Amino acid sequence: MNTNYILPFLWMRGESEDVIREEMGKIYDCGIRAVCVEARPHPEFAGPGWWHDLDIVMDEARNREMRVWVLDDAHFPTGYANGFIKDKYPSRKKVYINYNTADVWGAKDEVTLHISRMLKPTSSWLDMGKPKDTEEQKNNQLVVVVAMELVSKGLLSEQFINLSDQVSDGFLTCKLPEGNWRIYVIYKTRTDGGNPTYINMLDKESAATQLEAVYEPHYERYGADFGKTFAGFFSDEPSFGNVNGFDFNETIGQKDMPLPWSDEAESMLQQALGDQWYAYLPYLWADTIEMKQSIHVRYSYMDIVTKLYEKNFSRQLGEWCEANQVEYIGHVIEDNNQHSRLGSGAGHYFRAMAGQHMAGIDVIGGQIIFGGAGLERVGITKGDGEFYHYALGKLGSSCGHLDPKKQGRTMCELYGAYGWKLGVRDMKYILDHLVVRGVNYLVPHAFSMRDYPDVDCPPHFYAGGNNPQFRHFAYLMRYANRLCHIFNGGTHIAPTAVLYHGESEWTGRYMKMQEPARELTENQIDFDFVPADMLHALDSYNGKVDQHELKINGEVFRCLIIPYSQYVTKELALFMMKNQELEIIFVDGHPEGISNERNDQRAAELLAAIKTRSVISLSQLADELKAKHIYDICLNNSFKDLTYYHYFKDNHRFMFQNESAYETFRGEIELPIEGAAIIYYGLEDRYERLRTRKEAQKIVIELELQPYESCVILECTEEQASKYDYYIPHSDKLAACSSQIDLSANWGYALVHNKAYPHFGEVQRLETLVPISRDNPTFTGIVRYEKAFDLAEAPTTRAIIAFESIYEGAELWINGEYVGMKVCPSYTFEVERFVKKGINSIRIEVATTLDRDRLLYPEPPFTITHDAMDPTGMFGAITLFLE
């Protein structure tokens, strides 16, 4: 039985054998039984040095019964094909269509255009000195010349004149009707877009270069291990790449840019648009007065290129892996809604994932922030906090839940590029945030073997022995494996489905899916995002509509929620017409058009049919669903920061997380189960019995969660529950204590850097606890605090010691006995078994992050964000509660 759900990145740079074996051992010591080796920094990927180093990793993995995944390229992002496009197959480079224009004002007489000069981008003095592939530009090919009438404010009429047949010897000579005209010269090119050394995702032969360059050489060397020690390949952020950079704004029709192209795309577009397909191409860039044909053309283009990405790249790689007994995983760029865009995106999240055996996302660079739900992020670019907090995790897990190929599995790359400030305190929050949204495989970023400090996308978990929190990280990873095991191999239960907004963005005004997602999340109504593709191919996803319910791959939804979309597809409209018994709610308005139906009468009929469905404002959505009894759990008092996840595997199981930075949740929760229930604390691997009250076919429990806290509730029998002590909320335990002892003053402390642990320095005294960083602002390592206290009587029932502020990892000893570890608030320990009458000694060791250590080193070559530094050490009130 699989009990490992963690495969951290192991960066390979050509280190010595001893260093590689040591790092593999440290990963193993964390309870982790897999690695994903990253070649990006290695100087000889798929060459002799690479094979030498990977042989060592494979040997360690075989001996330790671990599994190995390989990031599938020499450079980031996936698609470089280890340089084969540049060095071996230049004919397989990306192809684009691009355009130039010439305006003709007050057309009256014959005009001439030099078309040959218009088959390349315009340039100015600002472009002088920039590299150009002038030889390749000579191969650019004219596709069409079209004149469109300028009407007002840059808008065009959808009446066009095809002038292509009037081009001769590189010149166009024509006479246009009276008026103002814009002539579009559209051409095919290999030079105008993104990185020319990358594969063309729309071309099967070009995409297959990835297999030849990376996958097949690894099979040749490790074929006997495939499906055993060698687990598979990981694609990291493959994309269309039709432009360079990460602007996250490459929505079709909204940005001037060259567009991905291939012969197959051309053939499919001709089939979709008819014999005059090429004359419609200006609509891919130009807005029109009518916005009718342009909507259809944009939808058709995006539909075609995303399906080709799916077929020629994602599925081709996935099918190769299946044929060779390994799996294909990874993620695309989802950031800032890029999951449905071109550029660094893949155009349609679910189609991009189609060939993978797990769904995948990443959470890096400060995308999920404790206490920052829904707020704008500022880093390399400004980030949509509402997307990151309310949609990203659910986007991944929805694909994992609903696509049978994924077997319920969703992977997340996490922690990378947060900086050295990220420690176990917030790592635990991010981990819980993802699991409570359905993520159940983790790729922590990263283990780096470069000499400390490695400035490349920290934190690094071991950091050559320098990271003071490495023991705490190992503790957290064991928790992560236990938690992910609970939520693997079963079925997610949610009452609602929310339509994925990808196709809506391609065509007109739309509401982002995270807006209803936020409303549902803050009212404890769970959901999955469902793409339209699944709705009109339910058989392919083990799905059907039955007895007023939408069933997909074992999940059962009682309602389909459609965020406002100016246009919907005819397939979606037909699905709604066919399934009248299914509850369907439009949020904030009905659609106004059908994006891929060119027949006006048929489009009007479809719109009339779906406008019988109800419209609910976003602000009233949750109340309307509750009024219709479309919910799963119910709180007696609202608390918007309580998130939950309902799962069934042999029994019902629920995860709850308090995502508030300040407020404690305390209240009753109605659960849709009838038996007994126990609460599981994953960090301590500990169970308690819950008191329950039966109401109809449900039970009511009482729960208290402080900020940073989470728990799992498990349905069980009375006999099973009777094995455990009853759960008592933490505040009730404190309230029951009859006396308190203030331990806040007069502590001794000593410091040590992690590599010198446990050889602490000289003991110093603190009458009043203050952060160590006040007097020692650059210290990072372990702070050991000690003191003695006198207890007149041993506690008869309970003793709790509570520390107000600790940054961050803490281990406690009382009277020389180890009490336990904490990696995040609340820093409270139950110590009745350890304290005694008379003199007691207490020792607590606090591990900092490495954040302040950066003050001792030169400024790194790049700075993604500027973060406030946390204090270090232990301070505030320390209280012993006695009952």
The DSSP-derived string for 189-240 is ESSSSS-TTSB-TT-HHHHHHHIIIIIHHHHHHHGGGBTTTEEEEEEES---
Residue indicated by tokens 């990145």:
9
Structure tokens at 696: 């109809």
Q: What is the C-alpha to C-alpha distance for residues 384 and 517, in angstroms, rounded to an integer? A: 14
Q: What is the C-alpha to C-alpha distance for residues 503 and 341, in angstroms, rounded to an integer? A: 10
Residue 865 pLDDT > 90: no
Q: What is the mean pLDDT of residues 673-687?
A: 96
Spacing of C-alpha 23 from chain mean position: 27
Residue 863 pLDDT > 90: no
Task: Let me know how many helices (H) and strands (E) the chain has, helices first.
Answer: 22, 49
Structure tokens at 337: 């809604």
Output the pLDDT for position 108: 86
Q: Are 655 and 679 in contact (CB under 8 A)?
A: no
Output the pLDDT for position 40: 85
Residue 762 pLDDT > 90: yes
Share of the chain above pLDDT 90, in %: 93
Q: What is the mean pLDDT of residues 809-826?
A: 98
One-letter identity of residue 177: P
Q: How many CB atoms lie within 10 A of CB 660?
A: 19
φ/ψ of residue 359, rounded to 5: -70, 155
Per this entry, what is the length of the chain? 883
Q: What is the C-alpha to C-alpha distance for residues 233 and 244, in angstroms, rounded to an integer? A: 25
Q: Are 107 and 163 in contact (CB under 8 A)?
A: no
Q: Which residue has the higher pLDDT, 326 or 696?
A: 326
Output the pLDDT for position 804: 98
Strand partners, 363: 414
Residue 379 pLDDT > 90: no
Q: What is the mean pLDDT of residues 631-635?
A: 97
Burial class (CB in 10 A: 0-12, 13-18, 19+), 122: exposed
Residue 126 pLDDT > 80: no
Strand partners, 692: 701
φ/ψ of residue 4, rounded to 5: -115, 130
Q: What is the C-alpha to C-alpha distance for residues 858 and 131, in angstroms, rounded to an integer? A: 33
Enumerate the H helices of 812-856 as residue ranges.
Answer: none
Q: How confident is residue 812, by pLDDT bands cut at 50, 70 and 90?
A: very high
Q: What is the C-alpha to C-alpha distance for residues 496 and 557, in angstroms, rounded to an integer? A: 5
Strand partners, 63: none
Spacing of C-alpha 24 from chain mean position: 26
Q: What is the C-alpha to C-alpha distance for residues 628 and 632, in angstroms, rounded to an integer? A: 12
Predicted TM-score of the model (pTM): 0.97
Q: Are 381 and 277 in contact (CB under 8 A)?
A: no
Structure tokens at 725: 């002590």
Q: Are 293 and 286 in contact (CB under 8 A)?
A: no
Least-confidence region, from 126-140, 513-527, 676-690, 820-834? 126-140
The answer for 222, left when phi > 0, alpha when psi is -120 to 50, beta otherwise, is alpha
Q: What is the C-alpha to C-alpha distance for residues 280 and 284, in angstroms, rounded to an integer? A: 8
DSSP 8-state class, residue 729: -
193-229 as b/e, with b when 16 or more CB fall inside 10 Å? bbbbbbbbbbbeebbbbbbebbbbbbbebbeebbeeb
Q: What is the mean pLDDT of residues 235-243?
A: 98
Residue 380 pLDDT > 90: no
> β-pairing, 230-236 with 327-331?
parallel
Structure tokens at 880: 């012993």
Q: What is the mean pLDDT of the chain?
A: 96
Q: What is the C-alpha to C-alpha distance for residues 82 and 851, in angstroms, rounded to an integer? A: 35
How far from 710 is each of 397, 713, 827, CA to CA, in Å? 19, 10, 14
DSSP 8-state class, residue 334: -
Residue 435 pLDDT > 70: yes
How far from 436 is each of 390, 412, 672, CA to CA, in Å? 12, 13, 18
- SS3 for 581-641, per residue? CCCEEEECCCCCEECCCCCHHHHHHHHHHHCCCEEECHHHHHHHHHHCCCCCCEECCCCCC
Q: Are 794 and 835 in contact (CB under 8 A)?
A: yes
Q: What is the mean pLDDT of residues 379-407?
A: 94
Contacts of 430 (CB under 8 A, 6+ apart): 363, 368, 370, 414, 415
Torsion of CA 35, 38, 41, 47, to 10 degrees: 100
One-letter identity of residue 872: T
SS3 17: helix
One-letter identity of residue 536: H
Residue 150 pLDDT > 70: yes
Least-confidence region, from 116-125, 257-266, 534-543? 116-125
Q: What is the C-alpha to C-alpha distance for residues 719 and 738, in angstroms, rounded to an integer? A: 34
Torsional sign, CA 172, 173, 174, 178: positive
Structure tokens at 685: 């691997």
Enumerate the H helices of 282-420 as residue ranges.
Answer: 293-308, 316-323, 349-352, 385-387, 393-402
Burial class (CB in 10 A: 0-12, 13-18, 19+), 539: exposed
SS3 26: helix
Q: What is the mean pLDDT of residues 25-30?
A: 98
Q: Which residue from 636, 640, 647, 646 is spatially nearest to 669, judged by alpha carbons?
A: 636
Output the pLDDT for position 153: 81
Q: How many CB atoms lie within 10 A of CB 504?
A: 28
Residue 14 pLDDT > 70: yes
* Helix or strand run (H / E) with residue 826: none
Q: Which residue from 479, 483, 685, 474 is spatially nearest to 28, judged by alpha carbons?
A: 474
Residue 127 pLDDT > 80: no
Q: Which residue from 300, 329, 286, 305 is spatially nearest to 158, judged by alpha carbons?
A: 286
Torsional sign, CA 158, 161, 162, 168: negative
How far from 676 is each of 388, 433, 688, 702, 732, CA to CA, in Å? 36, 26, 12, 13, 22
| Tens digits of residue pLDDT in 579-590 | 999 999 999 999
Q: Are 705 and 665 in contact (CB under 8 A)?
A: yes
Enumerate the H helices of 404-462 as residue ranges.
Answer: 424-435
Q: What is the mean pLDDT of residues 634-639?
A: 96
Output the pLDDT for position 307: 98
| Tens digits of residue pLDDT in 38-89 | 988 899 999 999 999 999 999 999 999 999 999 999 999 999 999 999 999 9
Q: What is the C-alpha to C-alpha distance for residues 487 and 497, in angstroms, rounded to an integer? A: 20
DSSP 8-state class, residue 690: P
